[in-house]
């Protein structure tokens, strides 16, 4: 299984000895059916990258040196425990990066790590990404993981905002061959509308491309809702009995007429009305918003409005609309009942008072939590699969903050911009040497299915499976340093079974947990846990209650996976709100709406704003070290519209100085009408020119870090998500600076 993006394609590898010499799409895979993209095809080169660390590193006399695993974990225990004992649990921060959703270890062990540490200082990539969707799902449905997925294969009408699946291969919508699925939508007569300030490859595929002003999606979406009410197009259908707050939403969007938002969006009012009518009239329709609607000023409001539109058009939870997947390791469905609801801000961050979300604090606040003196300061950091020096705002400040820590441990295969600060680096083996199961993405997939593969290549001498690395890390930071790794798994298994046998809805109610634990199969702790989750899950064998049901053994008999069918309606059983209904206008959202109303009266910015972009052969900050992926069109250029370039006196290819609140960087201009006027675009994840790293290829063509333009203060307040798109910047042509320092735009 390819671990490189959310599409989760099955791969067929060619292996010579222990080396992966080829990778192609697995034609028999029940879900991806042979699809592969250039990244997946480069799996062998990535897997065999000579810059990958193969041994742990421990800092001695200031330099990182290879060490044994025993020495490395001893150093972790010695580095962390005394700090916790002296300064309390919050002295240790935890940073979880994106690849944790692609590894089994990242799904299974961080909860144990966090409970062992007891820290409130958790930072993840979610607050640079999808936290607004969690907040919206949490408030509307009572469960932050209840994220509706557009039913790509059956919808008649797709409104896609701020996503570019032709480059990203999709996000919060796991769909191998997303491009093919969009083409199929058009071929069966469906319509595709893309909202994006850039004329992306996805936009080029659409019936309609709306080149919106960055940051204005919440205005556009509010206007669509407005039209539905104004023109009497609300049709909840079977949702009617499950939804409360419809009339309140009508009042809330009263001021957001298409005419009122047209200037802010820079879109014609008539087109907005037409789009609303089309959504309402389509037999089925799905609204789907991603990065460009999340990492913006009104990220949560936009994410909420996406869900509201799906509800008001009756498309939530119906085939062809937006549905909740049911993955094989989800909790088995049970009778609907009111839940506990979702609360935000149960505590706040120390320095800026940012509210907690899902027990996390904003990634943009990590640096200040380290470098601001005082009680409760972060003194040690555990970073797992994270490169926040490049991926979070103001990498320069974070870089300095990391250097000031008393202790840091990184679980990372590379010595890069972030891990170079660690006292201990624990490198996981390459993906071919790791088992793979998509715990996260199966809950976001356009089709229910389940696939598991064991490591394709045996673990090489000296390597340690990432699950074992995580387990031993948990033991090292708790009082159990030196205990066998399986102790962590045994603990989790015991606890889960204890709960299951006490649960009257569980198939194992009343049975003996020890007996059940003895029935688990699997060669590793992680496999036994997977077996447990599958057997207790919605398709499971219930330890004998459903003899035909799923178990690890059954799954191993199907190396290309098992198809579990199309998505099905799940309301009301998914709801966990206190009311037991969809709460359409949650109080925190209502309280944030005045901010959006104020935007109606705001004059659009005169100058330029920055947006990001992704390239098919890139992946955040860490694929630039693979030669076949780091060349050709995959370059760190500043895209600018020809008219804006002419006004600023910028020539194609010439270096441009870009200034933002957090700093300035220099990148070559790429003049292209693919970005709208008033917008410039830089990709993120570049800037590999810091000393002390070991990424030879990336360092040779380093690019610049777009996040250096941010100072970390711009956040979507409800979700703590950094504003990464629609950020004001100033440009100066570098060549002209000497003669005319005022030539800025």
User: Which residues of the chain form contacts with ligand SF4 (CB under 6 A)?
Assistant: 2, 4-5, 7-9, 36-37, 39-40, 169, 176
Instruction: State the nearest-atom distance from the C-beta of 629 to ligand SF4, in Å.
Output: 10
Instruction: State the nearest-atom distance from the C-beta of 391 to ligand MGD, in Å.
Output: 3
Instruction: State the nearest-atom distance from the C-beta of 169 to ligand SF4, in Å.
Output: 4
d(CA 713, CA 696): 33
Per-residue tokens: 132: 């607004």
Residue (of 612, 624, 621, 623) closest to 125 by Cα position: 621
Write out the residues near ligand MGD by the rule CB under 6 A: 5-6, 97-99, 103, 125, 128-129, 161-165, 167-169, 171, 195-198, 200, 212, 214-215, 217, 290-293, 296, 384-388, 391, 411-414, 416, 428, 466, 611-616, 618-622, 684-685, 706-707, 724-726
CB 394 within 8 A of CB 180: no
d(CA 683, CA 667): 11
What is the distance in angstroms between the CA of the first residue and the CA of the last residue of the chain?
47
Instruction: State the nearest-atom distance from the C-beta of 429 to ligand SF4, in Å.
Output: 18
Which residue number, 27 or 343, has a Cβ lying nearer to ligand SF4? 27
Q: Is 196 exposed, middle or buried (0-12, 13-18, 19+ CB in 10 A)?
A: buried
Which residue number, 83 or 291, has a Cβ lying nearer to ligand SF4? 291
Which residue number, 278 or 736, has a Cβ lying nearer to ligand MGD? 278
Residue 684 partner contact from ligand MGD, ligand SF4, Mo ion, none using kind-dependent CB cut-offs of 5 to 8 Å: ligand MGD
The number of residues making up the chain comes to 745
**10 Å Cβ neighbour count for 172?**
21
Largest CA distance in the chain: 82
Instruction: State the nearest-atom distance from the C-beta of 101 to ligand MGD, in Å.
Output: 8
Burial 257-285 (b: 16+ CB within 10 A, else e): bbebbbbbbbbebebbbebbebbbebebb
Which residue number, 134 or 581, has a Cβ lying nearer to Mo ion? 134
Size of the site for Mo ion (CB under 5 A): 1
Residue of 129, 196, 317, 527 that binds Mo ion (CB under 5 A): 129
The structure tokens 């790791």 sit at 434
Residues linked to residue 332 through DSSP beta bridges, in sequence order: none
Binding mask 488-517 for Mo ion (x = CB under 5 A): ------------------------------
Which residue number, 129 or 143, has a Cβ lying nearer to Mo ion? 129
26 scored as a contact of Mo ion (CB under 5 A): no
Instruction: State the nearest-atom distance from the C-beta of 37 to ligand SF4, in Å.
Output: 3
d(CA 581, CA 244): 7
Tell me which stretch binds Mo ion (CB under 5 A): 124-132, 143-151, 410-418, 478-486.
Answer: 124-132
Please confirm whether the linkage preceding 572 is cis (ω < 30° from 0).
Answer: yes
Residue 9 partner contact from ligand MGD, Mo ion, ligand SF4, none using kind-dependent CB cut-offs of 5 to 8 Å: ligand SF4
Which residues, in sequence order, are CB contacts of 50 under 8 Å at separation 6+? none
Which residue number, 409 or 656, has a Cβ lying nearer to ligand MGD? 409
DSSP E strand boundaries for 164-256: 191-195, 208-210, 243-244
Tell me which stretch binds Mo ion (CB under 5 A): 13-21, 68-76, 126-134, 202-210.
Answer: 126-134
Residue (of 308, 300, 244) closest to 276 by Cα position: 308
Sign of the torsion formed by the C-alpha atoms of 623, 368, 403 and 70: negative
d(CA 368, CA 378): 9
Residue 685 partner contact from ligand SF4, Mo ion, ligand MGD, none using kind-dependent CB cut-offs of 5 to 8 Å: ligand MGD
Sign of the torsion formed by the C-alpha atoms of 215, 217, 222 and 227: positive
Which residue number, 593 or 679, has a Cβ lying nearer to ligand MGD? 679
The structure tokens 């491309």 sit at 209
Residue 8 partner contact from ligand SF4, ligand MGD, Mo ion, none using kind-dependent CB cut-offs of 5 to 8 Å: ligand SF4
6 scored as a contact of Mo ion (CB under 5 A): no
Instruction: State the nearest-atom distance from the C-beta of 6 to Mo ion, in Å.
Output: 8
Residue closest to ligand MGD, measured at CB: 292
Residue 412 partner contact from Mo ion, ligand MGD, ligand SF4, none using kind-dependent CB cut-offs of 5 to 8 Å: ligand MGD
278 scored as a contact of Mo ion (CB under 5 A): no
Residue 706 partner contact from ligand SF4, Mo ion, ligand MGD, none using kind-dependent CB cut-offs of 5 to 8 Å: ligand MGD
At residue 288, what are phi and psi to the nearest 5 degrees? -140, 120
Per-residue tokens: 162: 């701020």
DSSP 28: T
Which residue number, 315 or 706, has a Cβ lying nearer to Mo ion? 706
Positions that interact with Mo ion (CB under 5 A): 129
């Amino acid at each position: 299984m390819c671990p490189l993006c959310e599409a989760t394609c099955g791969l067929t590898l060619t292996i010579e000895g222990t080396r992966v010499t080829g990778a192609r799409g697995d034609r028999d895979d029940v879900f991806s059916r042979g699809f592969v993209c250039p990244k997946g095809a480069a799996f062998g080169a990535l897997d065999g990258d000579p810059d990958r660390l193969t041994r742990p590193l421990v800092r001695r006399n200031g330099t990182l040196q290879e060490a044994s695993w025993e020495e490395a974990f001893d150093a972790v225990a010695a580095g962390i425990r005394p700090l916790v004992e002296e300064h309390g649990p919050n002295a240790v921060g935890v940073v979880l990066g994106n690849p944790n959703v692609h590894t089994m270890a990242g799904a299974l062990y961080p909860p144990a790590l966090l409970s062992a540490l007891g820290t409130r200082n958790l930072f993840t990539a979610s607050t640079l990404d999808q936290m607004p969707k969690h907040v919206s799902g949490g408030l509307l449905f009572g469960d932050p993981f209840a994220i509706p997925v557009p039913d790509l294969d059956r919808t008649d009408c797709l409104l896609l905002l701020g996503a570019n699946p032709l480059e990203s291969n999709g996000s919060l919508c796991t769909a191998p061959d997303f491009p093919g699925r969009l083409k199929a939508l058009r071929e069966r007569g469906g319509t595709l509308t893309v909202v994006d300030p850039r004329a992306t490859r996805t936009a080029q595929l659409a019936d309609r491309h709306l080149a919106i002003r960055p940051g204005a999606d919440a205005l556009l979406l509010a206007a669509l809702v407005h039209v539905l009410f104004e023109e009497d197009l609300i049709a909840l259908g079977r949702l009617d009995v499950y939804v409360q707050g419809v009339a309140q939403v009508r009042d809330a969007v009263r001021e957001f007429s298409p005419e009122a938002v047209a200037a802010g969006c820079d879109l014609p009012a008539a087109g907005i009305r037409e789009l609303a009518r089309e959504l309402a009239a389509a037999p089925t329709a799905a609204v789907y918003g991603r990065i460009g609607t999340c990492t913006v000023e009104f990220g949560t409001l936009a994410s909420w409005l996406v869900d509201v539109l799906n509800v008001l058009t009756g498309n939530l939870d119906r085939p062809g609309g937006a549905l909740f997947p049911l993955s094989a390791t989800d909790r088995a469905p049970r009778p609907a009942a009111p839940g506990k609801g979702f609360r935000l801000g149960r505590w706040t961050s120390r320095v800026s008072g940012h509210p907690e979300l899902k027990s996390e604090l904003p990634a943009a606040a990590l640096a200040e939590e380290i470098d601001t003196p005082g009680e409760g300061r972060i003194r040690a950091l555990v970073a797992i699969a994270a490169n926040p020096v490049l991926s979070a705002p103001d990498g320069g400040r974070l870089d300095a903050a990391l250097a000031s820590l008393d202790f840091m441990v990184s679980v990372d295969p590379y010595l890069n911009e972030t891990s170079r600060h660690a006292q201990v680096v624990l490198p996981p083996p390459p993906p071919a040497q790791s088992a793979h199961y998509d715990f996260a993405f199966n809950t976001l997939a356009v089709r229910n299915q389940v696939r598991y593969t064991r490591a394709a290549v045996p673990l090489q001498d000296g390597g340690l499976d990432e699950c074992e690395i995580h387990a031993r890390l948990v033991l090292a930071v708790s009082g159990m340093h030196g205990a066998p790794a399986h102790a962590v798994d045994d603990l989790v298994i015991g606890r889960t079974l204890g709960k299951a046998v006490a649960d009257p809805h569980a198939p194992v109610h009343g049975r003996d947990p020890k007996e059940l634990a003895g029935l688990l199969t699997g060669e590793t702790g992680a496999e036994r846990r997977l077996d447990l989750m599958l057997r207790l899950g919605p398709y499971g064998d219930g330890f004998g209650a459903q003899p035909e049901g799923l178990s690890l053994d059954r799954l191993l008999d199907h190396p290309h996976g098992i198809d579990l069918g199309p998505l099905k309606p799940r309301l009301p059983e998914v709801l966990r709100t206190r009311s037991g209904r969809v709460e359409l206008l949650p109080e925190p959202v209502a309280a944030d709406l005045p901010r959006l109303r104020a935007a109606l009266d705001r004059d659009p910015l005169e100058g330029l704003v920055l947006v990001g972009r992704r390239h098919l052969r890139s992946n955040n900050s860490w694929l630039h070290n693979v030669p076949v992926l780091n060349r050709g069109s995959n370059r760190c250029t500043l895209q600018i519209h020809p008219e804006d370039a002419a006004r600023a006196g910028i020539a194609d290819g010439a270096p441009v100085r870009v200034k933002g609140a957090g700093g300035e960087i220099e990148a070559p201009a790429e003049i292209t009408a693919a970005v709208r006027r008033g917008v410039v675009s830089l990709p993120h994840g570049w800037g590999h020119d810091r000393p002390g790293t070991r990424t030879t290829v990336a360092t040779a063509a380093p690019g610049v870090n777009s996040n250096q333009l941010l100072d970390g203060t711009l956040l979507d307040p409800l979700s703590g998500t950094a504003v990464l798109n629609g950020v004001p910047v100033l440009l100066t042509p570098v060549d002209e600076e000497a003669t005319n320092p005022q030539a800025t735009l």
